[in-house]
Amino acid sequence: MNPDIVKERKTATFDVEKLTHILDGGPEKTKRRREIETLVLSDPDFTGEDPNFLSRSERYDQAVRRSAQMILKMREYGIADPDEIYYYKSCVQTDRPEALDLHLGMFLPTLLNQATPEQMDHFFMPAWNLKIIGTYAQTEMGHGTHLRGLETTATYDPSTQQFVLNSPTVSSIKWWPGGLGKTSNHAIVLAQLYTLGNCHGLHAFIVPLRDLDTHKPLPGIVIGDIGPKFGFSEVDNGYLKLDNVRIPRENMLMKYSKVEPDGSYVKPPSDKLTYGTMVFIRSMIVGESARALSKACTIAIRYSTVRHQSEIRPGEPEPQILDYQAQQHKLFPLLATSYAFTFVGQYMRQMYNRITGDIQQGDFSEMPELHALSAGLKAFTTWTSNSGIEVCRMSCGGHGYSQSSGFPDIYVNFTPTCTYEGENTVMMLQTARYLVKSYRQVKAGQQLRGIVSYLNEAEHRRLQPQSVAARPTVVDINDLSSLVEVYKLRAAILVEMAAKSIQQELQRRKSQEDAWNNSAIDLVRASDAHCHYVVVKLFAEKLTEVGVTAIHSVLSTLALLYTLHGISNNSGDFLQAGLLTVPQVHLISVRIKELLSQLRPNAVALTDAFDYHDRKLNSVLGRYDGNVYENMFEWARKSPLNATEVHESFHKYLKPLRSKL
């Protein structure tokens, strides 16, 4: 053990194990997660070469081999609970994506949510037993987030009771679905439904892609891998071109909408139901944002305690770089954000499960709110975590750039969340559409329920310039509930500003569409403020559930830091709205510095509470024992370039060059 990191752990003011229980959702969950981790990490079938030293084809092969072993062993151990499947899988692939992700994460859940009982009987068990390996083919080369623009067609033929699927243009080729290139033999394909001459919009169809025995593509199917990407080397993201592919009528997912044998169409009770799988994934991504950022923080903070550099006072030993205030200012707000997002992720899962239960009972009333909140929080958390991971990398200096640091893997595997399952700006605009609609309902005299109920308070403080002296200074910057109120008012004011911007555009005789587009910057700001308020509110509410005084104290410090740092970064909004004064903003800067000092003794313990095993963290810099330099040297020596003392290129090119010069 590195003595610096031993010393850090001794300064903790709280019981790390008890905080881990809170993050996991209870001591039983922690116990079970660790049992599963031990099962996997002690299993020789899941050892193998470091993927950093493998080719793309070898990485894909390694991931598929592990996935096959994983499925067998989960069946053997009776692991069927979704949380336990997630734990097991994340240990097997050490949080890297893999080819069966969409089969497990989208194909099976979509069947569960959108298939009829008869379809479940026909498709689910073969899919559960991997006779059917599925993916979710929505995105096309020419359209992604704009679902209504998708061009793939499914035309019903009443004479044969079949759908005929086609990719009518180059831009309609399905592009990006994970597992589509080489792994899957079926896909749930999102296509525009045509029947009796009418288009009924996007619907989901189960389309066989490959022969179940030979795995060769079926007639009319052109399929393959889209090539190397930023990351995701283990995944065969693919393309799919459909040419008059016929499937039975029963292959359209018909739990909510259906096509009768004669071609007549039965509408779904809600047009949002087809998006159920996406809402599920977006809710999960919020939790992924917390995990990715917390891993980056763990690596950066641990490394910052064992790395000594430069000097604060001349002649004294080089300090730990975590003793520099500037380093704390980079990392501690991100650590606080990791905790905030962890609690928001827990909330989103609970909310998704509750509303899904309501939908099963035929109650669709909360579907719009779930859709809007999952879209906005997906964008808010992924943008923040994505930039935060890069801050953590840079805070580790040159060594952060090495693949051994773990940062490149965390970054390239996380950054696509900003664009998949809905491009983030478009997600923010979808949330804004719900907020503006809610605002107008309040103006029309309706009372709102749920997370937007704060818009009911009709008399918000207006954005009219006032003299500083005239502004009431009722905000207590040390009181979290007072700060939650300020975030709420900021959100309400920015929603109102966006709605008024649209109104002003309409008064200039602009169309609804142009008015919306010309107000897009205001709308994104309003959504951002709404999501920020939700995160702050949920963090504050989580504190009321924590009964252990020492943990409550350290989490309160984190919550206050997260909240004040957010105000500091967006001070223009709060000042412009007259919610805070310039002296108060200055006091917040001073208070943030105090909070950094308060957190310093607990920094390593707060990362330990995330309880990442070294094999899962996969970082030389973030090792639990702090022995960075010895292990960095060992890791480098394993590079394939070091297999020989003299590389063949010397004899082929460099030595002959001498005689020519």
Q: Which residue in the block uniquely carries the two structure tokens 């039975």?
A: 248
Give the residue from 638, 470, 531 showing the smallest Cα distance to 54: 638
The 10 Å CB-count burial string (b at 16+, else e) for 275-284 is: bbbbbbbbbb
Report the 10 Å Cβ neighbour count for 532.
24
Query: What HEC string does 249-280 produce?
Result: HHHECCCCCEECCCCCEECCCCCCHHHHHHHH
CA–CA dist 205, 156 (Å, integer): 12
Q: Are the C-beta atoms of 535 and 374 separated by less than 8 Å?
A: no
CA–CA dist 370, 279 (Å, integer): 8
User: Under DSSP, is residue 510 helix (H, G, I), strand (E, B) or coil?
Assistant: coil
C-alpha distances (whole Å) from 259 to each of 123, 161, 164, 208, 275 are 19, 10, 14, 20, 19
Catalytic residues: 421
Q: Which residue in the block uniquely carries the two structure tokens 């439904």?
A: 193
The 10 Å CB-count burial string (b at 16+, else e) for 463-490 is: eeeeeeeebeeebebeebeebbbbbbbb
Strand pairing category for 174-175 and 238-242:
antiparallel
Q: For residue 388, how many C-alpha atoms fall within 13 Å in the half-sphere facing its CB?
A: 29
Tokens of 450: 């749920």
What's the one-letter identity of residue 83?
D
C-alpha distances (whole Å) from 597 to each of 18, 332, 561 are 23, 10, 11
What's the one-letter identity of residue 334?
L
Give the residue from 191, 228, 236 showing the smallest Cα distance to 210: 236
Report the 10 Å Cβ neighbour count for 246.
14
Q: Which residue in the block uniquely carries the two structure tokens 């969409």?
A: 102
Q: Are the C-beta atoms of 579 and 490 separated by less than 8 Å?
A: yes
- Give the chain's end-to-end CA distance (angstroms, integer): 53
Strand pairing category for 186-195 and 153-157:
parallel
